[in-house]
Amino acid sequence: MTRNDGRKPDELRKVTITLDYIKHAEGSCLIEFGDTKVICTASVEEKVPPFLKGTGQGWITAEYSMLPRATAQRTVREAAKGKLTGRTQEIQRLIGRSLRCAVDLTALGEITIWIDCDVIQADGGTRTASITGAFVALYRALEKIEKLSAVKNFVAAVSVGVVNGQVLLDLNYEEDSLAEVDMNIVMTDKGEFAEIQGTAEGETFSRDILNTMLNLGEKGIKELIEIQKSVLGVKS
Amino acid sequence: MTRNDGRKPDELRKVTITLDYIKHAEGSCLIEFGDTKVICTASVEEKVPPFLKGTGQGWITAEYSMLPRATAQRTVREAAKGKLTGRTQEIQRLIGRSLRCAVDLTALGEITIWIDCDVIQADGGTRTASITGAFVALYRALEKIEKLSAVKNFVAAVSVGVVNGQVLLDLNYEEDSLAEVDMNIVMTDKGEFAEIQGTAEGETFSRDILNTMLNLGEKGIKELIEIQKSVLGVKS
Amino acid sequence: MTRNDGRKPDELRKVTITLDYIKHAEGSCLIEFGDTKVICTASVEEKVPPFLKGTGQGWITAEYSMLPRATAQRTVREAAKGKLTGRTQEIQRLIGRSLRCAVDLTALGEITIWIDCDVIQADGGTRTASITGAFVALYRALEKIEKLSAVKNFVAAVSVGVVNGQVLLDLNYEEDSLAEVDMNIVMTDKGEFAEIQGTAEGETFSRDILNTMLNLGEKGIKELIEIQKSVLGVKS
Amino acid sequence: MTRNDGRKPDELRKVTITLDYIKHAEGSCLIEFGDTKVICTASVEEKVPPFLKGTGQGWITAEYSMLPRATAQRTVREAAKGKLTGRTQEIQRLIGRSLRCAVDLTALGEITIWIDCDVIQADGGTRTASITGAFVALYRALEKIEKLSAVKNFVAAVSVGVVNGQVLLDLNYEEDSLAEVDMNIVMTDKGEFAEIQGTAEGETFSRDILNTMLNLGEKGIKELIEIQKSVLGVKS
Amino acid sequence: MTRNDGRKPDELRKVTITLDYIKHAEGSCLIEFGDTKVICTASVEEKVPPFLKGTGQGWITAEYSMLPRATAQRTVREAAKGKLTGRTQEIQRLIGRSLRCAVDLTALGEITIWIDCDVIQADGGTRTASITGAFVALYRALEKIEKLSAVKNFVAAVSVGVVNGQVLLDLNYEEDSLAEVDMNIVMTDKGEFAEIQGTAEGETFSRDILNTMLNLGEKGIKELIEIQKSVLGVKS
Amino acid sequence: MTRNDGRKPDELRKVTITLDYIKHAEGSCLIEFGDTKVICTASVEEKVPPFLKGTGQGWITAEYSMLPRATAQRTVREAAKGKLTGRTQEIQRLIGRSLRCAVDLTALGEITIWIDCDVIQADGGTRTASITGAFVALYRALEKIEKLSAVKNFVAAVSVGVVNGQVLLDLNYEEDSLAEVDMNIVMTDKGEFAEIQGTAEGETFSRDILNTMLNLGEKGIKELIEIQKSVLGVKS
């Protein structure tokens, strides 16, 4: 079976990372997974949240948003509604946790790194593109403030899913809206998991399907980390 | 190694389900996982959200909250703050998705079932106790409105985690706060997954550890579903 | 005339107080006025609101809420609406004022006691049950922190009302919804008033009716304070 | 004992009502209780809240606010804070209930009358001045839309309180801030109660004191209703 | 052509300023531009916003609101909606900027002057009446705290507009709602601009029309400043 | 005097417009005024706000936002704060009014065009770049839905200001923060004004300075409209 955009089941979309996309930010990039485009910035603030004051430890936190017309139908701005949706908060927390797995927070000193992922065009996989791009922005910011030694490992993310009974890597919007199962995997360059979120959309899934999805995800993340390293000039 | 409450690594806490705990609700129970106590109710409303109008299909949605003094330190009410935390929204969405996997929504007709999970005392595992109890309340409500035929399978949830390198089932609060990895598993009585959420807290985890956690979770969920069936008078 | 539940006009519903209902709280109880059930907790915080800083005086404040399905029809959560209703705020203020009449705040030292009254099942009289139970939780918390000497008097509350021209004590929901006049009385064990709130629902009421209501309320409160003292092991 | 402004214990402050103060409103007045000044308007809307649709019955609802510098210290606007205080909501509900006791709602037809009470200068008794002035604005609006026959009785309100052990009528701000007991009474021209709210501020009060307060309040309200009738050109 | 109220095109409405209208405020007035009536107060607070702490400089900020029935149709309170409209925020910012042009902030010392403009009756030109009255209240407050030397110049504001092709001074509500162009001008007694805001309502306007409007505005502001000076007892 | 970026006083920054930047939107562009970069989209919705229902007339409305790290210091998201700042609302209203001057709304039919201007990098002039780019997106959308005949004129905007006594065109961020006077001008290709907003920052300005600013603004807008026409393939 071919996919709606001609890819093979285990093939990523074309991934492009434009480094240093926003001049003011300590670290930034524009990341593209096919037609999904996200601006990722990392901003350094010289203080920590109250629960970390005096511990010598740093913090990484993330915010995520979509431009109203990133999507096929215009969506209402959360600022206009006056509150964040549950989906946004879930994604923000996921991005933050994923990146905190990549860095030794005690080696940062008492600073906070704010990650902002703003989706300017959406075509599926906005959260996995955000994590993958956010790591690049974070790495760049740590390079700038000379804290690269705090990086424990690279982190990237990809989606896998079951569409018409077939396991596919890196779903685009059309595939995602047809998927029976949707899974997001966040992994390090050492092949360890930072996060696994598998969700049945009505139909539940077996342990076998789970294993196939994990295999496919692992393959995709290896390729994404290759691209991250190449863009950042890091030897594999 | 023994656990802080004397359990074996693969042992659930004492689980108690008091059926029909709230007189007004179509379905309700008080569920206890050790010292974690949650009131679960299922309320039937004779209409559906706008996106389902005219489809003949029903809906199940969930809300979750904690009493301020359910926790060791009093927490500020979300009603007083004027907004839901990200954690609450994430849990609400998880409960809703999990229950929608248990029911054939097209067999419900155009009704909404509101699930409310209110934690009156918390000692770890509030979201898994909520899902497990919410299924009981839901089942009871469907029985009352004579829609039991819409139930596709039983659903229950349990947490597993890695504490000091050891994989443990059904973490209490103290274990949860020490865990390197925290995973919530939602499964059916047919042994299929409705949801998997595994999260590294700083330290990432290997595929082997993941498999051990899944095995332990499967064991716990089988036991929980036995208890659900027994309380509801359903033969295994 | 007999009442819908068989009581005499001047008869309370069955009152049950389960002490120490929530393990984390300094003081707590589950109070039941018939089918009305409220969890009351008292939490001690080692600071005071800004207007009391440096005065050596303490504070008591109260919050009140209902579970969504405490009522016959499910009500929308205030946390979901993002604001408290006027009714909730009125009740919270009433509970706080009533309890502050029971305690010498200057004898507390600079602490705040947070009272939480969460109605888990409602059948009329939730605010009077809350005050009566909240005093028990408060007493228990003061006992725990060894400040019982700050207690000036016991406080309990009861509703009275006029239904079909007859004055009744401790209205249940059905009676309350038919009442022409609704009055809440908060009184001490010395027979003094802490609060009187009498409200005509369309039809106004005479001074004579007022006096009959006050007499009935006084009788009910004496009985409630007997129960409080018995549960707390205090001699009358 | 003389009072701080030279009045006798049972003496009202100078009361002035300027009729038709706001040109756009169907009914309006500026009411002054000494230095307390409130603009009251009644606005007629040709629809009712959802719960009354199709019943043929009308509704009266009230809103209350203070200009920021109505008080000795500037207070923060509720619009700037984004929410109403508990005090404001309590007063709004009190004004609305009081006026609904004055009118046969079924005789109004399906209209809503919005009462707005805006305190432009405050010196104690703003809620009682508001009710007394709001009735005048309401009466005027009903006159304009030719629904005076719906008026069942006149309604006015006054405060009484205990200051240094002495019962006083119509407390000004300084007296109010010293009062041990504070009571607001809403009464009709037939001498019946629409509302009684008596509150102990720390010290509780006896049945005897209550009776003295009720007597004084009755005297004050009779005088206020005289003034209302005179301003509106109604024979006593 | 005569105007709907008989004025000549370059004629102001009758302007009345009642000084010291609110007893609590350091400075206050009631200003009337015809049927437009605004209560303006200036309140002195002994601190500055965070960005000015330690600079020795003061601040002036303004808030603006309308009573619900200031307008022909009752408008919903912003406090009830829980947020300020864009129009309100725009006017508040305009008033604040305009007044800051009148005062040497460094000569104030570290105080904040809060300006409140509350429209009690609206008939067009509420923002220009607010600025003109607010300056009077501000002047009065500075007199009271003996900081008159900080006043750099007088400031007043007026509207001009194009109605049916004719340029008119100080539009009332009916004219304003018909205007093709609407312009607000804020000017000092030295004939310099503090603010110009010209807005086309659908039809754009030429440079010539702009110049005519500016000429008319200058004439009106000279007259307004005469009135301000006369009320404040300042020689022209 | 040369400017900080080497421009002459009457020289625009380099202006770039990338047409059709967002694939989902009916009309879109990325506009750059030097380092200021704004994504502008125009979205067509097949309905109008309530006040236009049944009139046959269309509507154009605008929203404006900045990415958190568009600025030198990260700013807090309005969605996180739960409300729009006054500045944002002011800009949104300005963009909307400006574009409504460019189109015959009665020729649109009952549709709403939502304009979104999202600043991804800010260096002064974000509102004028937004208006200039928004017109291009709007034009493109009208082309797509075959309503180009509704366009009455082109509209563009530019800032002018006084810095160290010198009048400058198109201020960048550094110039803007030093400016004594700041003016935004919105003009059509026929040389008429849609909007003029001139603001003194502490120091007021004379009629002569105003005229110089208007001249400079007119020059800049002519050049901007040339660029718009060239990008859109419209003959000048």
Residue ranges of the binding site of E: 87, 125-127
Q: How confident is the model at residue A1 (pLDDT cuts 50, 70, 90)?
A: low
Question: What is residue A32's predicted lDDT score, i.e. its pLDDT?
Answer: 98
When scoring A20, A21, A22, A24 by the number of chain F Cβ atoms within 10 A, the one with the most, hence best to mutate, is A24
Residue ranges of the binding site of B for phosphate: 87, 125-127
Per-residue pLDDT of chain B (236 residues; tens, 9 = 90+): 679 999 999 999 999 999 999 999 999 999 999 999 999 999 999 999 999 999 999 999 999 999 999 999 999 999 888 889 999 999 999 999 999 999 999 999 999 999 999 999 999 999 999 999 999 999 999 999 999 999 999 999 999 999 999 999 999 999 999 999 999 999 999 999 999 999 998 789 999 999 999 999 999 999 999 999 999 999 88
Q: B193 and A205: CB-CB below 8 Å?
A: yes
Q: How confident is the model at residue F1 (pLDDT cuts 50, 70, 90)?
A: low
pLDDT tens digits along A30-57: 999 999 999 999 999 999 999 999 999 9
Across residues D145-172, what is the average pLDDT? Answer: 97
pLDDT tens digits along F110-131: 999 999 999 999 999 999 999 9
Residue A162 CB partners (closer than 8 Å, separation 6+): A168, A179, A180, A181, A205, A209, A213
Least Cα distance to A185 among E221, B24, B205 occurs for B205
Percent share of chain C, pLDDT over 90: 94
Question: What is residue C205's predicted lDDT score, i.e. its pLDDT?
Answer: 96
Percent share of chain C, pLDDT over 70: 100
pLDDT tens digits along E36-55: 999 999 999 999 999 999 99
The secondary structure element, H or E, covering residue C94 is helix C86-100
In chain E, which stretches have pLDDT less than 70? Answer: 1
Is residue D125 classed exposed, middle or buried when 0-12, 13-18 and 19+ CB atoms within 10 A define those classes? buried
pLDDT tens digits along D61-99: 999 999 999 999 999 999 888 889 999 999 999 999 999
Distance from CA of C148 to the nearest CA of B (A): 22
| Strand ranges inside chain F, DSSP E | 15-19, 27-33, 36-45, 59-66, 112-121, 155-163, 166-169, 181-188, 193-200
Least Cα distance to A195 among A182, A204, A184 occurs for A184
Distance from CA of A23 to the nearest CA of B (A): 31
**pLDDT of F190 higher than 80:** yes
Question: How much is the mean pLDDT over chain C?
Answer: 96
Q: How confident is the model at residue F160 (pLDDT cuts 50, 70, 90)?
A: very high
CB < 8 Å to B101, chain A: 200, 202-204
Residue in F closest to A27 by C-alpha: F69
Alpha helix (H) residue ranges in B74-115: 78-81, 86-100
pLDDT tens digits along A143-194: 999 999 999 999 999 999 999 999 999 999 999 999 999 999 999 999 999 9
Q: Is B101 on the interface with C (CB under 8 A)?
A: no
Contact between A193 and B198 under an 8 Å Cβ cutoff? The reply is yes
Residue D146 CB partners (closer than 8 Å, separation 6+): none
Residue C60 CB partners (closer than 8 Å, separation 6+): C96, C99, C100, C103, C105, C112, C113, C115, C138
CB < 8 Å to D203, chain C: 101
Residue ranges of the binding site of C for phosphate: 87, 125-127
Q: Is E71 on the interface with D (CB under 8 A)?
A: yes
Q: How confident is the model at residue D203 (pLDDT cuts 50, 70, 90)?
A: confident
Distance from CA of E136 to the nearest CA of D (A): 16
Residue B51 CB partners (closer than 8 Å, separation 6+): none
DSSP summary character for residue E66: E
Sign of CA dihedral F184, F11, F172, F138: positive
Contact between F116 and F29 under an 8 Å Cβ cutoff? The reply is no
Residue in F closest to E102 by C-alpha: F202
Q: How confident is the model at residue A59 (pLDDT cuts 50, 70, 90)?
A: very high
pLDDT tens digits along A210-230: 999 999 999 999 999 999 999
Q: Which residues 165-194 on chain B approach chain C with CB closer than 8 angstroms?
A: none
Alpha carbon distance E57, E40 (integer Å): 24
Q: Is B196 on the interface with A (CB under 8 A)?
A: yes
When scoring F199, F210, F214 by the number of chain E Cβ atoms within 10 A, the one with the most, hence best to mutate, is F199
CB < 8 Å to F68, chain A: 41, 43, 63, 114, 116
Of B92, B200, B210, the CB nearest to A86: B92
Coil, helix or strand for A118? Answer: strand
CB < 8 Å to D100, chain C: 202
**pLDDT of A76 higher than 70:** yes
Question: What is residue E132's predicted lDDT score, i.e. its pLDDT?
Answer: 98
**Token digits for C35?**
């089918």
Question: How much is the mean pLDDT over chain F?
Answer: 96
Of E23, E79, E84, the CB nearest to D35: E23
pLDDT tens digits along F10-56: 999 999 999 999 999 999 999 999 999 999 999 999 999 999 999 99
Distance from CA of E207 to the nearest CA of D (A): 38
pLDDT tens digits along C70-124: 999 999 999 888 889 999 999 999 999 999 999 999 999 999 999 999 999 999 9
Across residues C123-131, what is the average pLDDT? Answer: 98
CB < 8 Å to B43, chain C: 68-69, 74
Q: Is D208 on the interface with C (CB under 8 A)?
A: no
Looking up tokens 């309700």, which residue turns up? Answer: B28
Distance from CA of A185 to the nearest CA of B (A): 10
The reply, when asked if residue A127 is annotated as ligand binding, is yes
Rg (Cα) of chain A, in Å, rounded?
Answer: 17
DSSP summary character for residue D13: P
When scoring D63, D88, D91, D199 by the number of chain C Cβ atoms within 10 A, the one with the most, hence best to mutate, is D199
Residue in A closest to F43 by C-alpha: A74
When scoring C46, C69, C71 by the number of chain B Cβ atoms within 10 A, the one with the most, hence best to mutate, is C69
Q: D121 and E79: CB-CB below 8 Å?
A: no
The secondary structure element, H or E, covering residue B69 is none
Of B90, B194, B207, the CB nearest to A86: B90
Question: What is residue A160's predicted lDDT score, i.e. its pLDDT?
Answer: 98
Residue D88 CB partners (closer than 8 Å, separation 6+): D64, D65, D78, E79
Q: How confident is the model at residue D1 (pLDDT cuts 50, 70, 90)?
A: low
Q: F79 and A65: CB-CB below 8 Å?
A: yes
Q: Which amino acid is at D207?
A: R
Is residue B37 classed exposed, middle or buried when 0-12, 13-18 and 19+ CB atoms within 10 A define those classes? buried
| Strand ranges inside chain A, DSSP E | 15-19, 27-33, 36-45, 59-66, 112-121, 155-163, 166-169, 181-188, 193-200
Q: A69 and F25: CB-CB below 8 Å?
A: yes
Residue in A closest to B98 by C-alpha: A200
Least Cα distance to A88 among B131, B93, F76, F66 occurs for B93
Q: Is A24 on the interface with B (CB under 8 A)?
A: no
Alpha carbon distance A111, A57 (integer Å): 8
Distance from CA of D12 to the nearest CA of C (A): 22
Q: Is A207 on the interface with B (CB under 8 A)?
A: yes
Residue F51: how many other CB atoms lie within 10 Å: 8
When scoring C61, C97, C193 by the number of chain D Cβ atoms within 10 A, the one with the most, hence best to mutate, is C193
CB < 8 Å to A188, chain B: 204
Alpha carbon distance C106, E170 (integer Å): 60
Q: Is D76 on the interface with E (CB under 8 A)?
A: no
Q: Which residues 135-154 on chain D approach chain E with CB closer than 8 angstroms?
A: none
